[in-house]
């Protein structure tokens, strides 16, 4: 489902129909881009996608929903930059009506009885892909209906996602659960039927919206589990490091093949066990990262902590380079990431961020200086 060849990824950007995306994105067969795995792994950037789209002659007003979708990614990441580990707990307020700190077993087993949800979870396990609308349905079932705190099911979803981005995932779950928003999100069976093309009746979600206010946790969601999430890490390569060359550090969130392209440098994919112990991902996600690494010439893999790498090979800080990310605990020369807009900092709502950022769309020269 997801190519790992850089040339194919660029072609995929250029094949996006941003107008159709805006009209169909909420349907499970909508004209979505499936670029998110490459954005999450840092292979491409939101700014790069925006520029290539606008270079095709689209008026920003005509593709607002597409540009907003890209901007949501930056928005979540900027909150992570600003708030750090605070995103790992209830951000704006305590999640209301928490009953448990596990998750419904029927979600993990794809056995909710709601066909669209169960089929999507089965496909998710096979492909690592989950439509954004279905992600919201699952989060609503776990948190808004099932009373689960958002953290455990969010970790389960992140573990299996090919486009795993902890900020986007955790903060979206919090938005649904009401800890990063003013209210919880719910969807009933009619909504699922509409966007998933089913015609199912008599499920625990087959109720009018006003019934959710007084609904007790359905019995089918009462059997709970805490998935055992472990990351199988690969072996390190036999590293060949030339101390006379700069050392460029790649990681799970930076697999950019164009970063300092053509420069004679040591290129190290750093896989820190401590990161994956705290934020576990599946074997398929690790393989996807390693396959994307084939786009980076002479990339060598080191499994261990940054300080071990630095000390083992006597690396000088002035010769170490890396891209900024909240999970990094490195020393050396930090390069900034490419963001869509110059707007930074914490905004409590996306639209406060967007209303400021969108003004730059009228100044494309400023927006794409250096791009």
pLDDT at 1: 82
pLDDT at 371: 46
pLDDT at 363: 54
Distances (CA, A) of 171 to 11, 90, 155, 168, 260: 30, 9, 12, 6, 32
Residue 300 neighbours by CB distance under 10 Å: 18
Distances (CA, A) of 355 to 18, 42, 67, 105: 20, 26, 12, 41
Tokens of 274: 């401590």
pLDDT at 250: 99
In CATH, which of 3.30.530.20, 1.10.579.10, 3.40.50.720, 3.40.190.10 is domain 89-225?
A: 1.10.579.10
Q: Are 193 and 161 in contact (CB under 8 A)?
A: no
pLDDT at 125: 98
* Helix (H) / strand (E) containing 354: helix 350-357
Q: What is the pTM of this model?
A: 0.95
| Mean pLDDT, each 10-residue run in order, the chain (371 residues) | 96 97 95 96 98 95 96 98 98 97 99 98 98 98 99 99 98 98 97 98 98 96 98 97 96 98 97 98 98 98 98 96 98 97 96 96 57 46
Q: How far apart are CA 52 and CA 255, in angstroms?
A: 19
Q: How far apart are CA 325 and CA 279, in angstroms?
A: 14
pLDDT at 362: 74
CATH architecture of 6-86+341-367: Alpha Horseshoe (1.25)
Q: How far apart are CA 109 and CA 104, in angstroms?
A: 9
Q: How far apart are CA 324 and CA 342, in angstroms?
A: 16
């Amino acid at each position: 489902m997801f190519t790992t060849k850089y040339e194919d990824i660029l072609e995929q950007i250029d094949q996006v129909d941003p107008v159709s995306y805006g009209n169909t994105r909420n349907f499970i067969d909508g004209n979505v881009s499936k670029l998110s795995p490459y954005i999450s792994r840092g292979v491409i950037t939101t700014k790069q996608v925006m520029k290539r789209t606008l270079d095709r002659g689209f008026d920003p007003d005509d593709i607002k929903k597409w540009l907003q979708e890209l901007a949501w990614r930056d928005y979540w990441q900027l909150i992570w930059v600003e708030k750090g580990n605070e995103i790992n707990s209830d951000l704006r307020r305590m999640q209301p009506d928490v009953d448990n700190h596990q998750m419904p077993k029927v979600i993990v087993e794809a056995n909710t009885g709601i066909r669209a949800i169960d089929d999507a979870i089965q496909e998710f396990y096979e492909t690592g892909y989950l439509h954004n609308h279905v992600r919201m349905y699952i989060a609503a079932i776990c948190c808004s209906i099932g009373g689960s705190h958002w953290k455990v099911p969010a970790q389960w979803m992140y573990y299996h996602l090919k486009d795993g981005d902890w900020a986007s995932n955790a903060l979206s779950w919090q938005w649904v659960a009401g800890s990063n928003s003013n209210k919880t999100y719910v969807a009933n069976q009619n909504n699922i039927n509409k966007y998933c093309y089913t015609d199912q009746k008599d499920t625990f979600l087959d109720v009018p919206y006003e019934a959710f206010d007084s609904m007790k946790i359905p019995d089918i969601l009462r059997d709970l589990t805490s998935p055992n999430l472990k990351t199988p890490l690969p072996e390190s390569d036999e590293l060949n490091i030339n101390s006379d060359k700069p050392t460029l550090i790649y990681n799970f969130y930076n697999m950019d093949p164009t970063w300092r392209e053509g420069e004679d440098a040591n290129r190290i994919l750093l896989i820190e066990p401590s990161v994956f112990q705290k934020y576990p991902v599946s074997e398929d996600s690790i393989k996807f990262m390693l396959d994307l690494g084939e786009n980076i010439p002479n990339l060598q893999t080191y499994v261990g902590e940054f300080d071990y790498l630095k000390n083992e090979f006597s690396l000088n800080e002035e010769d170490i380079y890396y891209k900024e990310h909240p999970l990094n605990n490195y020393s050396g020369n930090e390069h900034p990431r490419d963001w869509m807009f110059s707007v930074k900092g914490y905004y409590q709502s996306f639209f406060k961020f967007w209303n400021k950022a969108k003004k730059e769309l009228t100044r494309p020269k400023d927006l794409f200086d250096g791009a």
